[in-house]
Amino acid sequence: MSFSQVSNKAGVVRRLSNQLGTAATEGMKAAEEAATRRWINTLRRDAELRPATLGALKCVVEW
């Protein structure tokens, strides 16, 4: 195998590795956003039951 063939294969591996890293990062961001939405929705449900929680929710959202 020539040097250029090895170099081309290394480039392909590097690009695939970068794509996997990007996908993993995007997956973690999506999971974090989903967890944040669930937490906010829980606070909203609590706010419906306890008006004092609404004040806490407003503070968090403004922060």
pLDDT per residue as tens digits for the range 37-48: 998 888 888 767
Apex 26 CA angle, 40 and 12, nearest 5:
175
pTM for this predicted structure? 0.53
Write the CB contacts of 46 (distance below 8 Å, at least 6 apart in sequence). 53
**pLDDT (average), residues 19-43:** 90
* Model confidence band, residue 54 (pLDDT cutoffs 50, 70, 90): low
Whole-angstrom distance, CA of residue 33 vs CA of residue 22? 16
Cα distance between residue 52 and residue 49, in whole Å: 9
pLDDT at 30 over 90: yes
Report the 10 Å Cβ neighbour count for 3: 7
User: For tokens 């922060």, what's the residue?
Assistant: 63
Every domain of the chain and the residues it spans: 3-62
- pLDDT for 26 equals 92
